[in-house]
Amino acid sequence: MSQILATAISEFRIAFRNRWVLIATGMMVLFALVLAAAGSAPTGDVGVDRLSVTVASLTSLAVYLVPLLALLMSFDAIAGEVERGTLTLLLTYPVSRLQILVGKLLAHIVILALAVTLGYGAALVVAVWSDPSAIMGITALVRLIWSSVLLGATFLGAGYALSALARRPSGAAGLAIALWLVAVVLYDLALLALIITDQGGAFTTQALPIALLANPADAFRVFNLSAGQAVAAAGGIGGAAGAIPLWQSAASLFLSPLLAITLALAAFRKVTP
């Protein structure tokens, strides 16, 4: 345990010095504020409080931004150690590869949690300031925070796995960008295309829910939209959210970080210094 904590403290320090804490927090706050300001206009006809609407927009933001931040923080984690030549010495210490990974994960999760809490918190302040009753939506916001952290953990794990597979930071960065594009952008586009060609057939009713649960980014979106009251405000892929029971999207959210870390550990074990 002390090895994990020591690794986490060192990693946090490095991320702080490299301005990662500042960049991650700054990005989240900036985008959240923009959304909060834009989202404060169309409240009247939706019939829910202002914050819930903001949460719906923040969910769409988080689907793009949280995986991106997680991958940017994690792609260097193992490849960077290999390239600097620090891994050889580290592996002669009485610390297991799992402890190293969990230590790094812990530090990066704290940074992500800090960034999303401050970012969404800024949105909360804006919403409550213009409409005090918006505080009713606080549960949705809290749910968004912890589910964002779980989503981030999944992509951190995936980033470590790519970092271990690539063994060079440049290669790992390329793989990380490819993963982000596929998981967050292309996957949804492909699903939309299939829904349109399928026209409400077997794919839309049978395969689509599974396809949405299989991608952690979609599971996150589905979870937050179906748990909140603002499904109607979302539209798009979110429209399918109602068809998936809440426990299924929650299970996907909780299991995918474990799966990602398991993959990362398997890849890391194959790295010989």
Partner 1 sequence: MTPTLTISQLTKRFQSVEALKQVSLTLQPGRRAALLGHNGAGKSTMMKIILGLIPFDSGEVSVCGETPGSAAARRQVAYLPENVAFHPALTGEEQISHYLALRGENPRIAPELLARVGLAHAARRRIGTYSKGMRQRVGLAQTLIGRPRLLVLDEPTSGLDPVSRRDFYDLLDGLSADGTAILLSSHALTEVEARTDSILILSGGQLVAEGSLADLRTRAALPIMLLVRPAEGHAEALVAAFPEACVGADGLLRIPCAQGEKLPLLARITAWGPQVADLDVIPPSLEDIYSYFSRRDGQ
Residues at the site binding partner 1, with contacts judged by CB under 8 A: 2-3, 5-7, 9-10, 13-14, 17-18, 84-86, 88-89, 91-96, 272-273
* Closest separation in Å from C-beta 97 to partner 1: 12
* Closest separation in Å from C-beta 4 to partner 1: 10
CA distance 147 to 222: 11
- Considering beta carbons, is residue 10 or 130 the nearer one to partner 1? 10
* Closest separation in Å from C-beta 107 to partner 1: 12
- Considering beta carbons, is residue 85 or 200 the nearer one to partner 1? 85
* Closest separation in Å from C-beta 24 to partner 1: 16
* Closest separation in Å from C-beta 86 to partner 1: 5
Q: Which residues contact 248 (CB under 8 A, 6 or more apart)?
A: 209, 213
* Closest separation in Å from C-beta 64 to partner 1: 28
- Considering beta carbons, is residue 44 or 85 the nearer one to partner 1? 85
Question: Residue 67 in contact with residue 152, Cβ under 8 Å?
Answer: yes
- Considering beta carbons, is residue 82 or 183 the nearer one to partner 1? 82
- Considering beta carbons, is residue 18 or 205 the nearer one to partner 1? 18
- Considering beta carbons, is residue 89 or 243 the nearer one to partner 1? 89
Q: What is the 3-state secondary structure (H, E, C) of the chain?
A: CHHHHHHHHHHHHHHHHCCHHHHHHHHHHHHHHHHHHHHCCCCHHHCCCHHHHHHHHHHHHHHHHHHHHHHHHHCCCCHHHHHHCCHHHHHCCCCCHHHHHHHHHHHHHHHHHHHHHHHHHHHHHHHHHHCHHHHHHHHHHHHHHHHHHHHHHHHHHHHHHHHHHHCCHHHHHHHHHHHHHHHHHHHHHHHHHHHHHHCCCHHHHHHHHHHHHHCHHHHHHHHHHHHCCCHHHHCHHHHHHHHCCHHHHHHHHHHHHHHHHHHHHHHHHCCCC
* Closest separation in Å from C-beta 195 to partner 1: 47
CA distance 125 to 134: 10
